[in-house]
């Protein structure tokens, strides 16, 4: 059974803290094994990647077959169902349109002292996209990771997707084609992350690696950070629904289960001011669970990590939402905009009963790569900005140097950095000498 909590009960704070403190990450200690794989790939390159692929994916490759040939992609794309293709094309179109609006503007101006200042944005040269394979095949993740990179202007996009026993979902390959992926590599795991970070004789290195993966992939991204940039270390999926009793309990139940079915470690929570409604939603969850193909996973998630929290009012609900800082936040209330304005920490907010989180996973437009494990307190979802670098620009005129240079020289002296001060003072001396 999920946890049932009420802010009116004396033990609420202790129970709520325990709920927030649940360890939902995989307990496997993979750091040492991942470090060994990365070291092997750095030392042996293609040979190490090929050996790992045979070991983990039961697929024997050569340097010539590491990449999926364009003819293979063409054949896979041609076999995709027409309706599936139309749905994926609609998703790509909407995701691209949303992210185009995220592009920041360069700026350059002259201040009152005559100094010219500003910044410009330039894309990373190459990005690597990791896509889960095998039983987990997510063409939507290809679009969500690759399209912002292309909108940002990234010239080269390398995609790694494991192909257990040679199988790659055709929709994943179609998504790669629609999103403008440069090459698809049939490799996965820590070895793929290492190859993208360090490069091999066949696989060129990239500047940033994005995309979800299992515990080995997450550990590898953590270990190569610094050599390359990464998007985030994603944990199990989570949703918080704040709902009033005017909603259909079955709709709310389905929204909760849409996250619970991801993983047994996923978390689905409901906050409501009506205890009877909370019980009705829990009953609807139980009824729906028996109908799901992934009912074993969803049930494990709901029973171990699910929660129904009864609050006094929605002001209290907003305060709890900020403490949870959920990946996904649904506001199923009469005035969702007003409630959203009171929430500071959430990866993405979905307003009203006609905006289920699942629409955001596919065709809503905003990115579905979002901060988990309360990291929405300090980070944001994937965006065009993740593939851009901001470079500041400054140009001093003699007049500007005369106006602000003395302060720089004095601060350098105060910090005991003589050469710093002299580099400024030499120019001030030239100005005083009429040069």
Q: Which of 364, 322, 365 is nearest to 347 (CA)?
A: 322
Known catalytic residue at 328: yes
Query: What pairing do the DSSP bridges indicate for beta strands 307-310 and 328-332?
Result: unpaired
**pLDDT > 90? residue 433:** no
Domain positions in the chain:
3-22+235-378, 45-102+124-230, 396-432
Tokens coding 428: 């001030």
Dist CA 379 CA 371 (whole Å)? 7
Is the pLDDT score of 26 beyond 60? no
Query: What does the DSSP 8-state code read for residue 268?
Result: E
Give the fold, CATH level 3, of 3-22+235-378: Rossmann fold (3.40.50)
d(Cα 76, Cα 170) in Å, to the nearest integer? 5
Examine the residue annotation and report whether 368 is marked as an active-site residue of this protein: no
Give the C-alpha separation, 343 to 348, whole Å: 11
**Distance in angstroms (rounded) separating the CA atoms of residues 260 and 295:** 9
Contact by Cβ (8 Å): 140, 262? no
25: pLDDT strictly greater than 80: no
pTM of this prediction exceeds 0.85: yes
CA-CA distance, 176 to 170, in Å (whole number)?
Answer: 10
The secondary structure of the chain in percent helix, strand, coil, rounded to multiples of 5, reads 50, 15, 35
Which residue from 259, 224, 431 is spatially nearest to 347, judged by alpha carbons?
259
Q: Which of 158, 238, 327, 330 is catalytic?
A: 327
Q: Which pLDDT value is given to residue 435?
A: 61
- Does 203 score more than 70 pLDDT? yes
**Res. 76: pLDDT tops 60:** yes
DSSP per residue over 319-381, as a string?
A: HHHHHH--SEEEEESS-HHHHHTT----SEEEESTT--HHHHHHTSSS------TTGGGT---
Catalytic option among 328, 330, 357, 368: 328
Spatial distance between the Cα atoms of 136 and 196, rounded to a whole number of angstroms? 21
Are the CB atoms for 210 and 382 separated by under 8 Å? yes
* Closest of 229, 235, 222, 233 to residue 38, by C-alpha: 222
- pLDDT band, very low/low/confident/very high, at 27 (cuts 50, 70, 90): low
Under the banding of pLDDT at 50, 70 and 90, the label for residue 24 is confident
What angle, 0 to 180 degrees and rounded to 10, lies between the N-to-C axes of helices 12-20 and 314-324?
A: 40
Query: 396-432 in CATH: which number?
Result: 1.20.5.1300
**DSSP β-ladder status, 116-123 and 107-110:** antiparallel
Q: Specify the higher pLDDT residue, 214 or 181.
A: 181
Query: What value does the mean pLDDT take over residues 63-77?
Result: 97
The reply to whether 3-22+235-378 and 45-102+124-230 are identical in fold is yes
The third-level CATH classification (topology) of the domain covering 45-102+124-230 is Rossmann fold (3.40.50)
pLDDT at 235: 87
pLDDT digits (tens, 9 = 90+) for 112-150: 999 999 999 999 999 999 999 865 679 999 999 999 999
Query: Which pLDDT tens digit goes with each residue over 299-321?
Result: 999 999 999 999 999 999 999 99
* Weakest mean pLDDT among 24-33, 67-76, 161-170, 389-398: 24-33
């Amino acid at each position: 059974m999920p946890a049932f909590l009420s802010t009116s009960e004396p033990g609420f704070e202790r129970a709520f803290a325990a709920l927030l403190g649940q360890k939902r990450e995989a307990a496997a200690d993979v750091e040492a094994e991942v470090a060994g794989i990365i070291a092997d790939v750095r030392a042996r390159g293609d040979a190490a990647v090929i050996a790992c692929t045979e070991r983990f994916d039961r697929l024997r490759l050569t340097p010539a077959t590491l990449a999926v040939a364009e003819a293979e992609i063409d054949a896979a794309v041609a076999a995709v169902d027409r309706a599936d293709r139309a749905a994926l094309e609609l998703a790509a179109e909407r995701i691209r349109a949303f992210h185009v609006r995220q592009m920041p503007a360069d700026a350059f101006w002259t201040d009152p002292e005559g100094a010219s200042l500003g910044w410009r944005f330039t894309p990373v040269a190459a990005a690597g996209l990791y896509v889960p394979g095998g039983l987990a095949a997510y063409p939507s993740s290809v679009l969500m990771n690759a399209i912002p990179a292309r909108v940002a202007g990234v010239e080269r996009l390398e995609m790694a997707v494991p192909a257990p026993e040679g199988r790659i979902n055709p929709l994943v390959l179609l998504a790669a084609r629609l999103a403008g992926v440069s090459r698809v590599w049939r490799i996965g795991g820590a070895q793929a992350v290492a190859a993208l970070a360090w490069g091999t004789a066949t696989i060129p290195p990239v500047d940033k690696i994005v995309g979800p993966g299992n515990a080995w992939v997450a550990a590898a991204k953590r270990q190569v950070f610094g050599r390359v940039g990464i998007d985030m270390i994603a944990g199990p999926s989570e949703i918080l629904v704040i709902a009033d009793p005017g909603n259909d309990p079955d709709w709310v139940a389905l929204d909760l289960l849409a996250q619970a079915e991801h993983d047994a470690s996923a978390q689905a929570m409901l906050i409501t001011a009506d205890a009877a409604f909370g019980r009705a939603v829990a009953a609807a969850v139980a009824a729906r669970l028996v109908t799901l193909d992934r009912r074993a996973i969803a049930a494990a998630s709901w029973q171990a990590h699910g929660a129904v929290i009864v609050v006094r009012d929605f002001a209290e609900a907003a305060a709890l939402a900020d403490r949870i800082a959920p990946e996904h936040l649904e506001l199923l209330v009469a005035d969702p905009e007003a409630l959203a304005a009171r929430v500071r920490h959430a990866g993405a907010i979905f307003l009203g009963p006609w905006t289920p989180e699942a629409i955001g996973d596919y065709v809503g437009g905003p990115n579905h790569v979002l901060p988990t494990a309360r990291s929405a307190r300090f980070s944001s979802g994937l965006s065009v900005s993740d593939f851009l670098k901001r470079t500041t620009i400054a140009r001093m005129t003699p007049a500007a140097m005369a106006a602000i240079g003395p302060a720089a020289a004095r601060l350098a002296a105060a910090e005991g950095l003589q050469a710093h001060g002299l580099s400024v003072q030499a120019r001030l001396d030239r100005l005083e000498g009429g040069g």
